[in-house]
Every structure is written in structure tokens, then in C-alpha cells.
Structure 1
């Protein structure tokens, strides 16, 4: 006999948890399922552990930068990788049990196992058939399958964040978030790092003027950034690896890392059996995040693939899905003002339109840009790589886009995000009375 529920949530990350909890609070019978440890990508193998490593790497880097500025011995600061991993585990290890307790307290049944559809309103997991009025697909994302011989030899970001020992030589395939973030942490911990990117536009969704500055800075600190360098094969070489590229060059590594993008994690779900439409590896959803072919099925977060693969997007999707389930299907997500940050050292942050995108839309705008290395809030950190680029509607109109490179960029971008989302005129943003000196106080100078 099948077990009957109001909602089956597939995944235990930010999106699935939020929808499950709200539906359960409304009196629904809810079951949540995950093929991996409870907690999802962000808490266990993504944003949060990465930022923990970044924090220590940034502190070591700042100590080096401030040597001879009154800090004695900063140039001798080193990172003990095993201790850093132990610190990271102090955050990640408690997560699965904490989630299990929260589910039990809320009255949500939790099952660990791989779910697959066995009908439009049913999934099978751990030998049980679960039937429900609604099914939520919030199964996250996984590394894309690259057309590279030997791709199965590549380590993933999951593997990187679980390394007990840091390899001496790392080669990162792809010039996106994962490669730049892992490279900057590893380089500060003493590894030899090379990023291989297929064309001349790494971090393609970011403002390229600032990306070029980040690439130059990465090279200055010893990270090899090879552009126009498309990987063709990965081979074993003794205890290490060799990455062969199309132009004939070969790069030796103790670890070769997959940084070639992520795709919705849908393959194991047998969506055909659930009458859930897919096109080119992505769910076909309407504006309410509901399957166009099966109205019982909704999706949220990375699995939905509607907005950027970011935790705030998963939270927004979850709110929309929960409201549609509980109030009627009338709500749709608005991704205006979603920020993106590359946690390199220093970070690169972005919100709104790039100049290229604004020109592509035929918009009229003003550009304000400049170097921030001399700003008090930056100079006192010893960081030489700092710049901004803003896109504004003419005559003090709304902020169309903001792009920052430098210390505190990941915090200051949130003020610009508020302006973009609420269409706050730039002249009003410039009137903000911020604490001084701080990253926020730089905004009036950028807009001046």
C-alpha cells in the first residue's frame, strides 16, 4: 500500500526546507527526501563551508599585506590546511542531525534515499511508494558533464571542500565561480594553481572591466590564468594527472578540478514516468514554478533553473512555491536585484545590468567608474585591487547596475541591490548618511 501525503519534497536544501516547513505549519502531511545527507548544498558543500575557508585565507592574506604597515610578522603567517578543514567541519558536521531533529519536531517525515517518479503523483524511495497531492523538485544542481576525455577523473568542488591535505599543484578547468574561489583559497594556502579557460571571457556574467582587473591581480599573486585554453583530455600520470589542451600544451597536477559549471540535478528522478516535461536538461515550468505538463509538480532553487544558482534565489523560489500551494497559484518570482559575488580575494560583486547587457537592450545610461585603491577604507587594508563601475539612468535616475571589486564588496553590493530592486534614484542613494569610514561610505564618492 502506498503512503499518502499532501506534499513530497525532494531535497533538503534551503528551498525544500522552507516549503516543507510552511506546508507542515498549515497542517499538511509532509515528507522530505534526500539521496545525500540532510542539509543541502549551501550548508554542507557550498556557500557556507567555502566562506569559512575564505575567511581564514583572507585573514592570512591581509596579514601579509599589512606587513611593514605596523604589523610585525604578518609575512610569516601560514595556513594549516588540516586545522582549517577541522574548523570547517565544526560548521558542517552538525548539520544533518540538526535537520533531522528539526523535521521530527515539526512533524515532517524524513527519508534518506534516492527518489524517482513512478507516476504523476507518486515517487518511490527506499522501497516505499509515496503518493501526494503535490511534489516539489528541489534536488539542487550537479557538475555538468563536459565533453572531455577522462572527465571522470576530475575532482568536484565537493571533493575540494573535503580535502584533508592540500595538493601541491592544482589545475582548475573552467574560469567560473568555482575555479576562481577555490584557486584564491588554495593559493593563499601555498598551492601552485592554474586556471584553464576555453575563451577570453572568464566569469562571463560579470562586468568584464572588473574581471580583467581580477585576472591581472590573480596572476600577480601567482595564480596562472590561461585564457583561450580549452581542455581536451585528463589523464592519469603516476599519482597525479595531466590535463591536455587543444593547442598541444599539457599541464601537470596533483589534483584537477571541475569548474565547468553546474546543471539541475534531475537525471535520477525518471521524470518521464512523472509526466514532467524537460527540455535540454531543464524543467519546463510556467511563471509560477509549476510544471507545464503536470500541475501537481513544482520546482524551486537550482533544480528549477529559473534564476541564478544562488541561495537567495532558492529562498525566493521557496516563498513563491509555498504561497502558490497554500494560497492559490497566482505568485511568480521577481529576480530583480539579485546579487552575485565571486569570493576571490578580494571579492568581485555584481547586481543589475552589465554595460554589455545594457547596450544590448538599447538603454540610455551613464557610466561612473574608477579605482578605489586610494580610498581610506581600502588603502588601510593594503589591498591594491579595488575598483567600481556603475550604470545609472541619465540625470540622477535609477541604478541599472553596480559592479565592485575590493574589500567589503560583498557587503556594499547589498546597498546597491536594494536600490536596483526598489528602483531607488541614484541621487537619493547618494544622500545616505553612512558610518564613516566604512565600505558604505564609499558610495557617495562613487556617485559623485
Structure 2
């Protein structure tokens, strides 16, 4: 049995950040991956999404500027876009596993099954690790309805060679809203079916409703409180039926109804690791599972944090500090920013207005009359910041085509006393840019 200092299950952001630290040591590391090297984010999630965003954004930007200096809106050449994506990602797939293999790190393709506090089995081989880290992430939750198999997920979306004329998107979260944005920009007739009356739950709901209205004005149709009952197939066409009896004919169905932690079939129950199939693996303040030599990090860990890539980075670094550097302080998460790459974008850090407590108050800023917003046709741009009675920033929300980038300016301000003083001492951002809004808010 070959022995390692660390065995890492999953090759996503947890593995990448553990390896970044461990490669500076002589620790022997084994990375086990059952699917695509690099995990969801670079393969079927945030990275192909942001790649397509590079085309979608100028197209939609030109849509809003048509007749205001641009003669006509641009159009997406879908076959060329997807072919370019496939070419770029083919090179990525070829090199990603190699990037994780080094002098002190091995990689194995296969499903890792935990057989004990220090052992993992892959195929018919068993390996020993002083510590084991589970970073297997999330995967799309199956549609448990008749015909659910007919729906594709984000796993297949970014390789669609043919653009559908019509598409049904089931769900109302990040994935649903972002894929709907891409498809509509490319010319598809898009309908979103959401089982409840809310979209994008982590975000400020006033801004979410405004975003919904903007998307509707571009032609995206929303049906709220419309749980899907079944999907039927007739040739190349599909019919999606909701529980209230509505039928929707379409050329493509996308399941964006949620994600689940990858915890099944890994031996967790057999060795006594506590987990919930919906929430993930239970961990303590050092990311240890119920077996101290086995850790869980990132989306698969039930750590009380949003399932976002930067959270996985924090988890990975804490594990290294705990094991290698003897740090005993509990893991501490900084303010976590999040955003949806819709158009316009919506972004959030800290608390929302709905979460305000007694003494909290809101400062708002209309960004639509800023010259950069006027120039880009961003007529709905707006920002709100929540402070407590002592002037401490508790959260910020933004709706604009630059919201994802701009919200990062507020991350170091959340929880900070005297934000006006901080801003006054850090006024020298490039000008004119969205970062200059800080001066306007706190002068």
C-alpha cells in the first residue's frame, strides 16, 4: 500500500489551493478525480460561463446603445462561439491533470472510496494517507419527475452545437438566470419556470424584481409558482407540464433547479462520517469531519457558508494552517461577495435590506446618472449600502452592468468602523471608475 501525507478527493478549487501551499513542502500528495480535472468551475461552471459572458456582454450592451451612437445591435454567431469554446477547453483538458502532477504529487483517475480513517480505495488499489481531504463539490440535482431525463444541465449546455429556437429553463437561481441571459442574447425564446415566488434568494429582492422586469422587457418570460410535473418528448420536441396544468412546448429543457453535494458512494456512511445528502458533510471549526484525520472543504462541506469558489479557498488555506502550522484559532470567514452574471449584473456582500436589525439604516446611490453609466446605456444602475447605528458597514447591494466588479470595493468595508475615514485615506482609485462611488457615499 503506497503511503501519502495527504489524499485529496476531487481536483477542484480545494485541491488547487492545497497543492499551491503543499508544493513548497516535501509532503507527498495524491489527488483522486473521478470526472473532469479541475472540477465543475473551470469545466462546466463559472469559467465557460464567463467565457461566453465575454460575447454576451457586448451584444447586450449594443442592444441598449442602438440608436445612441451604435447603428444596430450586434448578433451572436452561436456555432462559431461554441466551436471556439471547445477548442480552448480541449487544450485545458489536456493540461489540467499535468498541472497537478509534480515531484511530490501524484494523480489518479477514478472514484475514491474512503475505507478507514487513513485509507482510500480507487479501483482495486488502496492508498494510505496521514490526512484525507474531501473536496468533491456539487452536481446538478436530478429532476425527480416523469421525463426528467430529457432535461440537460450546465454540464452539457456549454457544448451545445445548435442554438435552440425555444428553451425552457427550470429554476430561479444563479444557473437559471445566467443561462437564460446567454440564450436570450443569442436569439432563443426563453421561458423560466420557477417553483416558488422568489428568484435569486441570496440577493436584495427589490433589485431582483427590477432585474426580472428588465429581463422580461428583453423578451424572457417568467412563470412563478410553477413547479414542473413532467416532461414528455415527441420527436425532437418537448412539452413541459406544470402542476397547475400549463403546457409549454419547447426545443430544449434545462434543469437548473438546484445542486446537491457529491457525497454518495464514497464510503462516508460505512466509516461513520456524519453528513446530510442535501447540506453536505458536517465539519467543525477546523473543517474536520466526525473522523479527525478526514477533512471536508468547499461546496461539499456543511460549513454554514454560501457555495462559492472563494469560500473553498478559505477552507483549504485553513486546513493547511491547522495541520502544517499548528494554528488553533477557529476558521474565520471574511465578508463573502457574490454575484450573478445576468445583464445587468446583480451583486451582494454582507447583509441585505431584508436582514436589517433595529438601528440599521440604508444609504442609496443612483448610479444611472453617472457619465460612465449614461455612456454605456446602464439606465437601471443603482447601489445601496447598509450601516448600523454606529456607522459600521453591514452590507451592500448593487444592480448594474459593473456590479460584480464594483461590489468588491465594499468587501474590505463590511464590519469596518469609520468607513468614511478609510475611504478618505484611500481615495486614489483610477478615475472615472465605479470605485469612485465610495467617495460619493462617504464624503
Offset at residue 369 of structure 1 (A): 2.5
Q: 1:426 aligns with which of 399, 414, 419?
A: 419
CA distance in 1, matches of 2:324, 2:115: 25
1:386 equivalent in structure 2: 381
1:269 equivalent in structure 2: 266
1:342 equivalent in structure 2: 340
Query: Is 1:399 paired with 2:393?
Result: yes
TM-score by length of 2: 0.94
Q: 1:372 aligns with which of 363, 367, 372?
A: 367
1:225 equivalent in structure 2: 222
What pairs with 1:150-169 in structure 2 (closer than 5 Å)? 150-169=147-166
CA distance in 1, matches of 2:117, 2:99: 29
Q: 1:284 aligns with which of 262, 268, 282?
A: 282
CA contact (8 A) 2:56 2:185 kept: yes
Runs of 4+ displaced beyond 4 Å: none
CA contact (8 A) 2:275 2:282 kept: yes
- SS for the counterpart of 1:257 is strand
2:111 equivalent in structure 1: 114
CA distance in 1, matches of 2:331, 2:138: 19
CA distance in 1, matches of 2:258, 2:302: 13
Q: What is the aligned-residue RMSD (CA, Å)? A: 1.9
Change (3 A) 1:387 1:82: same
**1:16-39 deviations in whole A, cap 9, x for unaligned?**
122134234321111101011211
CA distance in 2, matches of 1:128, 1:94: 30
CA distance in 2, matches of 1:315, 1:366: 32
Change (3 A) 1:363 1:130: farther
1:58 equivalent in structure 2: 57
TM-score by length of 1: 0.93
Offset at residue 48 of structure 1 (A): 1.1
* Alignment length (residue pairs): 439
Point out where structure 2 has 5 or more consecutive residues left out of the alignment. none
Point out where structure 1 has 5 or more consecutive residues left out of the alignment. none
CA distance in 2, matches of 1:116, 1:99: 23
CA contact (8 A) 2:392 2:419 kept: yes
Change (3 A) 1:408 1:107: same
- SS for the counterpart of 2:176 is helix
Query: Is 1:415 paired with 2:412?
Result: no
Change (3 A) 1:260 1:446: farther
CA contact (8 A) 2:260 2:277 kept: no
1:201 equivalent in structure 2: 198
